[in-house]
Structure 1
Amino acid sequence: MFTINPVSAEFDTDIQHKIDRKAKPVGALGDIEALAFHIAKVLGKDQPIITQPKMMIFAADHGIAGSGVSIAPSEVTRQMVQTFMAGGAAINVFTRQVGLELEVIDCGIETPFTADSGVIDQRIGAGTEPFNQRAAMSLDTVKLGFKKATDRVEYHHQNGCNLIAIGEMGIGNTSSAAAIMSALSGFPAADCVGRGTGIDPEAFKRKQGLIEDALLLHRNELDHPLKILACLGGFEIVQMTAAILAAAERGMLVVIDGFITTAAAMLAVSINADCRDYMIFSHQSDEKGHYLMLEFLQAKPLLKLGMKLGEGTGAALAFPLIQAAANFYNDMASFDDAGIDL
């Protein structure tokens, strides 16, 4: 489905030597050095430069939202996308601050936007089916979403982009992400289901029960990641999964945001494990289960700020650290440059 080259270890010694010979004690920049090593492995050992980076927010509605699993109704998905396009959301503030170009992709919001809205139209439906009652979508819909997302990543790649950051918007999508997490990892739903943006105890209990019902309903179909997406996924999670795989196929870095985007990362790894080499995990969110996801993927996040907003906000906040690591590797003098004999 995707032909992804594992990141080569051929130049690991050269990359580490360059980092160690910088004018500082070995290891003194801690995780920034590890991040620089990762960037150099993916983008090239000589001078890895991040070019034309993009923040891609994938948005869609979820049928499960009608069962009261969120503090907000489905209409808020569209309202928040309108806020993104008006420049007033947290992700707008943070992407402006760090110089990260933002685009918003409609993967299947209930009510579509007009052609002049600025929203990228990659619709594959108008909200999923309630996955506790029937499959969220068909396999053909999953495959259509993969094609649309792959085409969009290819567009950015052709225009010189070598890093994408992934964000999302979709009322009810923590339910889908929790169900996907359980299906892929084998963790019980109780370990995967959180309170999202702050549901009360009664709604939380209902949410956990609905996800347990869905896992039981679809138990005979959860043996392949595409089938898991069809049964439990969201249109935005489908396209995020494909975007991760498509970016890795093209040798691009992929910055993963929080709980929902990490569910897409889990799916991507289950489809082609080599895509894991291209991922940078921006932060550990405060959503229950996210730390288990990160452990499952053997991922060390750059930040832990108690966030649970989504939108790509954690990825945007981590972007200056990614830039700093690349700039450190490229621009900091070595002991040899400085004439220091150590």
Structure 2
Amino acid sequence: MLNLKIEPLKKEFIDIAWKRLNNLTKPQGSLGRLEEIASRVVAIYEDAMPEIKKKAVLVFASDHGVTEENVSAYPKEVTAQMVFNFLRGGAGINVLARHAGADVLVVDVGVDYDFSEINGLIKKKVVKGSGNIAKGYALSRDDAIKSVDIGIELVRECYSRGYNLFATGEMGIGNTTVSSAVVSVLTNSDVEEVTGRGTGIDETTFKRKVEVIKRAIEINKPDASDPIDVLAKVGGPEIGAIAGVVLGCASLRVPVIVDGFISTAGALIAYCINPLVKDYIFASHNSVEKGHKKALDFMGLKPLLDLNLRLGEGTGATLAMTVIEASLKIYREMSTFEEAGVSKNDK
């Protein structure tokens, strides 16, 4: 895991992209962030005329022992029930993935349920639910590393099958609680600053959630200088797997679109392992969860959308996928002044 070769983007490809962008039939800079996105995509692929071939949304599912502390509006059984919904194609992520022309790959990394052989489910279970962080570690260090390796391996496998644009998603009752703990430790933020209402909890439950996170950090003493230690002590396997996806994409030089708060906690783990991954990450949207902005700001990432989303599953990332694809279509298909026979502004 730690020996992955990740390199910064090469300026020569950024220059190639901007030379073409500035010669398209429009005032320079008039397509705003679409131009910035396209230039970065060119540099990521190291291809003057890149093409998005196949798109995948990797949705990692896991349960969390911290639900014993009554920190969520939903019971933990919902995690497994939603996995079945994903596989049937009936969830929000399925609808938006169909809209984006992306494949949804559902991965069990820690659901506290014994799934039979089901068509479409990728079984990579690390644990049957992580430990209750209010009482002890979420994962052993070995299991934390294993969860990261699962994300890396899945990206490599998908890449070998022609996928070259990835989005991250997740499902797991209780996972905003562990994500808040991870973000609090790694950004050195007060728990109150990074904790939101998740699935829509009331004020009493919210206060309990904050106290549970504080207790978890106090009991487990995660080391902020060691992201794997933080993942093991207060995180969860889907957060680790998402970190692995980010690391894997960066090592393969393909873009990765990170979804909301939980996915960004995973990206934050990857960033703290190797800050160079930032070049390969597109932050899809600004979640209602207030800890999300803290994590994005810490990494210096600016979200593409702000739609008051808080569903997770990869929904925001899949919407952003369409924006990234649009930016590349502008870059590839729009005529230059010379091609269109249009006079340039020489002033």
How would you bin the TM-score normalised by the shorter chain?
over 0.9
1:216 and 1:275 mapped to 2: Cα distance? Answer: 30
Does residue 169 (structure 1) correspond to residue 179 (structure 2)? The answer is no
How far, CA to CA, are the matches of 1:286 and 1:220 in structure 2? 26
Q: For structure 1, which segment, 138-147 or 118-127, has the greater mean C-alpha deviation from structure 2 after superposition?
A: 138-147
Q: Which shows bigger deviation, 192-201 or 114-123?
A: 114-123
Q: In 2, Cα distance between the equivalents of 1:220 and 1:138?
A: 12
Counterpart-to-counterpart distance in 2, 1:220 and 1:93: 38
Question: Post-superposition, which runs of at least 4 consecutive aligned residues in structure 1 deviate over 6 A?
Answer: none
Where does the alignment leave 5 or more consecutive residues of structure 2 unmatched? none
Identity %: 37
Q: How big is the alpha-carbon RMSD for the aligned residues of Structure 1 and Structure 2?
A: 1.1
Q: Equivalents in 2 of 1:14, 1:148: separation in Å?
A: 35
| Residue of structure 2 in register with 1:24 after alignment | 26
- Tell me the SS of whatever aligns to 2:118: helix
Q: Which residue identity lines up with residue 217 of structure 2 in the other structure? A: L
Following superposition, the deviation at residue 92 of structure 1 comes to 0.8
Tell me what 1:259 maps to.
261
Measured against aligned partners, the alpha-carbon deviations of 1:192-214 in whole angstroms (never above 9, x if no partner) come to: 11100110000000000010111
1:222-301 mapped onto 2 (5 Å cutoff): 222-301=224-303
Residue of structure 2 aligned with 1:6, choices 8, 29, 39: 8
SS across alignment from 1:10: helix
Please give the per-residue CA displacement for 1:207-255, whole angstroms capped at 9, x wherever unaligned: 0001011111122644300000110111111111111101111111100
Distance 2:290 2:281 in 1: 22
- Any conservation in 2 of the 1:258–1:283 contact (CA below 8 Å)? yes
AA in 1 matched with 2:7: N
Q: Work out whether 1:193 is the aligned partner of 2:195.
A: yes
Matched with 1:324 is: 326
Letter in 2 for 1:217: I
| TM-score relative to the length of structure 1 | 0.98
Tell me by how many angstroms 1:157 deviates.
1.1
1:179 aligned to 2:181?
yes
How big is each residue's C-alpha offset from its partner over 1:18-68, in whole Å with a ceiling of 9 and x where there is no partner? Answer: 101100001111111111111111113421111111010000000001111
The code of the aligned residue for 1:68 comes to N
Instruction: Say whether the 8 Å CA contact 1:8–1:41 is kept in structure 2.
Output: yes
AA at the equivalent of 1:238: G
Tell me the residue number matched to 1:109.
Answer: 111
- 286-295 vs 18-27, which deviates more? 286-295
- The answer to whether the Cα contact below 8 Å between 2:13 and 2:48 also exists between their aligned partners in 1 is no
- The Cα shift of 1:341 comes to 2.8
Distance 1:317 1:11, change over 3 A: closer
Amino acid at match of 1:298: G
One-letter identity of the residue aligned with 2:76 = S
| AA partner of residue 287 (structure 1) | E
- Is the 2:222–2:233 contact (alpha carbons within 8 Å) kept by the matching residues of 1? no
Do the aligned partners of 2:13 and 2:46 also contact (CA within 8 Å) in 1?
no
> What SS is found at the alignment partner of 1:114?
coil
Q: Report the 3-state secondary structure (helix = DSSP H, G, I; strand = E; otherwise coil) of the residue aligned with 1:115.
A: coil
2:343 is the alignment partner of 1:341:
yes
Alignment partners' CA distance in 1, 2:334 and 2:150: 40
Call closer, same or farther: CA 1:301–1:244 in 2, change over 3 Å.
same
| Displacement of 1:293 | 1.6
| Residue in 1 that maps onto 2:69 | 67
Following the alignment from structure 2 to structure 1, what is the Cα–Cα distance between the partners of residues 115 and 37?
Answer: 39
Write out per-residue CA displacement over residues 107-128 of structure 1, whole angstroms, 9 at most, x where no aligned residue. 0100121113421000001001
Give the number of aligned pairs. 342
2:84 to 78, 82, 85: 82
Give 2:145's match in structure 1, choosing from 143, 146, 161: 143
The alpha-carbon distance between structure 1 residues 269 and 311, as it changes in their structure 2 partners (threshold 3 A), is same
Q: Any stretches of 5+ residues in structure 1 without a counterpart?
A: none
| Counterpart amino acid of residue 13 in structure 2 | F
Q: Is contact 2:222–2:230 with CA below 8 Å preserved after alignment?
A: no
- Residue 302 (structure 1) aligns with: 304
Q: State how far apart, in whole Å, the 1-side matches of 2:43 and 2:222 are.
A: 40
SS of match in other structure, 2:183:
helix
Could you say what secondary structure the match of 1:162 adopts? strand
* 8 Å contact from structure 2 (residues 176, 261) kept in 1: yes
CA distance in structure 2 between the partners assigned to 1:114 and 1:326 by the alignment = 41
| 3-state SS, counterpart of residue 107 of structure 2 | strand
Paired AA for residue 53 in structure 2: T
1: CA distance between counterparts of 2:107 and 2:340?
48
Q: 1:11 to 1:86 in 2, by over 3 A?
A: closer
Equivalent residue, structure 1, for 2:219: 217
